[in-house]
Structure 1
Amino acid sequence: MRKAKWAAAAAGVVLLVAGCGSEGGSDKGKGSDAPASGSSASAPAAGAGTGTGSGTGSGKGGSLDAAAVKKEIDTAATAAGYTQKPGDDVPANLKSCMVSWAVDAKKAADSKKSYDDTVSALAKGGWKEGRSLDQQGSVIKTLEKSGWSVKASYHGAGPLQIVQFIGTDNGPVCAKAFQEDLAKNKQ
């Protein structure tokens, strides 16, 4: 069951990265200050980059790996008042391609402010904000840097609050790993 959940999450992230164009939503960060790696959320960008095969970031900067992305999210989120919620680990075959940082929202004094502060800190750290969706108490923002995408999600409608930051390497090696994992778990 856990593998199926991760496969679905990985597939959703891949589809969001590969399938989201600039129609609908907000396209903040697009324009002359957009990263040179072509990190708009269009389909060509999902496979763009050098694809060294190491899963260490596929953008022209390519300086990020999963550990660096996790550290940047951890630093920004904890500075904003969040505590990481223990959760399911990323499957071993996706560890170099994906980072998941779930928030223990009950421990944050003002979870929405902490979310905004985390996104702001990531932006100050070089993450370019792309597509944004804000509907009915839920906010999902895409941030891009060095061939990686972070989906920053805040769902605060009603008594249940879910806040999560999921980072994925957009390179072709990781896209293939996500597709293989999804196919394996469909069986």
Structure 2
Amino acid sequence: MRKAMWVAAAAGVVLLVAGCGGEGGTDKGGSSSAGSSATGGSGSGGSSDQKLDAAAVTKELTDAATGAGFTQDSSGEDVPEALKDCMVSWTADAEKAADPKKSYADTVTALTGGGWTEARSSELQGSVIKSLTKSTWQLQASNHATGPLKLVMFVATDASPECEAVMKAENAKQKKS
């Protein structure tokens, strides 16, 4: 059951980013739609010789988040085995951060300084969700740490055709079970 939720979450992240690309609104720069990133590139990580893999994305996230004062929440769920090359999830232990809002902002700043491009940002009732892209990767950085539940998550998915096919196959498997 939890695998199904992860696959659905991964697909939702891809759809969320893909669905908001060219409509204007809060896009920054207009060059970060899913179509352009899937073909190799918006932002500075877009050339084919700089293709990111899950390990590199994990390292960048870990370095940015821990450098901003977060520790990783060890109780967060693992990414299903079939998606390990296509998805990265990093949950911060927001309860232990001195100032989760500042640590979140500093993490996003470190990521954008490292070549991630902010595509969209939304804020609703104190929660902030930012969409970032680099190479074929799309990252949802969400901060829901203003209320009683302190939740800060970073979920990245590779929007390459290969990974989209893997996610689609995993979703189909989960629907059958």
TM-score, normalisation: structure 1: 0.84
C-alpha distance 59-144 of structure 1, shift in aligned 2 (>3 A)? farther
Quote the Cα distance in structure 2 between the aligned partners of 1:25 and 1:60.
Answer: 29
Quote the Cα distance in structure 2 between the aligned partners of 1:25 and 1:159.
Answer: 30
SS in 2 for 1:27: coil
Higher mean displacement: 76-85 or 11-20: 11-20
Shift of 1:61: 4.7
The answer as to 2:14 corresponding to 1:14 is yes
SS in 1 for 2:48: coil
Pairing of 1:100-115 with structure 2 (within 5 A): 100-115=89-104
Quote the Cα distance in structure 2 between the aligned partners of 1:15 and 1:151.
Answer: 12
Find the counterpart in structure 1 of residue 81 from structure 2. 92
Aligned length: 172
Pairing of 1:67-78 with structure 2 (within 5 A): 67-78=55-66
1:168 to 146, 157, 160: 157
Find the counterpart in structure 1 of residue 123 from structure 2. 134
Equivalent residue letter for 2:36: A
TM-score, normalisation: structure 2: 0.88
1:23-76 CA-to-partner distances (Å, cap 9, x unmatched) read 365222x15xx5xxxxx234x3364249xxxxxx98635431000000000000
Equivalent residue letter for 2:39: A
1:110-159 CA-to-partner distances (Å, cap 9, x unmatched) read 00000000000001111111111111111111111121111101113420
2:111 to 107, 122, 125: 122
Q: Confirm or deny: 8 A CA contact 1:154 1:163 kept in the other structure.
A: yes
Q: Confirm or deny: 8 A CA contact 1:63 1:146 kept in the other structure.
A: yes
Higher mean displacement: 173-182 or 1-10: 1-10
Structure 1, gaps ≥5 residues long = 35-39, 51-56
Quote the Cα distance in structure 2 between the aligned partners of 1:81 and 1:18.
Answer: 31
SS in 1 for 2:17: helix
Quote the Cα distance in structure 2 between the aligned partners of 1:8 and 1:123.
Answer: 27
Q: Confirm or deny: 8 A CA contact 1:85 1:104 kept in the other structure.
A: yes
C-alpha distance 25-139 of structure 1, shift in aligned 2 (>3 A)? farther
SS in 2 for 1:105: coil
C-alpha distance 24-163 of structure 1, shift in aligned 2 (>3 A)? farther
The answer as to 2:33 corresponding to 1:41 is yes
